[in-house]
Amino acid sequence: MKNITLSADEDLIRKVREKAHREHTTLNANFRRWLRQYLNKGSKTTDFQAFMSSMDYVHPGRRFSREEMNER
């Protein structure tokens, strides 16, 4: 893995790290995800995969039955 140096406002970095901590991830993991998204921007498959990856902290608490998922 290659290291790079970036600059940003200290307060912004602190807030982003706090948010990443709440989402059980890191600033580095989010930056790597952003790099992949930037590289593949415009691909619908990639956009969907990125969305699903960004929601990996969401847990419904249990599995739903087919009937429950199809209720209206």
pLDDT at 18: 96
pLDDT at 50: 80
> Model confidence over 11-64: pLDDT tens digits?
999 999 999 999 999 999 999 999 988 887 776 777 788 888 888 888 878 888
pLDDT at 69: 87
Pick the residue with more confidence: 10 or 40?
A: 10
Q: How would you write 20-54 as a 3-class SS string? A: HHHCCCCHHHHHHHHHHHHHCCCCHHHHHHHHHHH
Please report, for the chain, the start and end positions of each structural domain, with discontinuous segments joined by +.
10-54
Rounded Cα gap, residues 19 and 13, in angstroms: 10
Task: Give the number of other CB atoms < 10 A from CB of residue 47.
Answer: 13
pLDDT at 72: 75
Query: 15: left (phi > 0), else alpha (psi -120 to 50), else beta?
Result: alpha
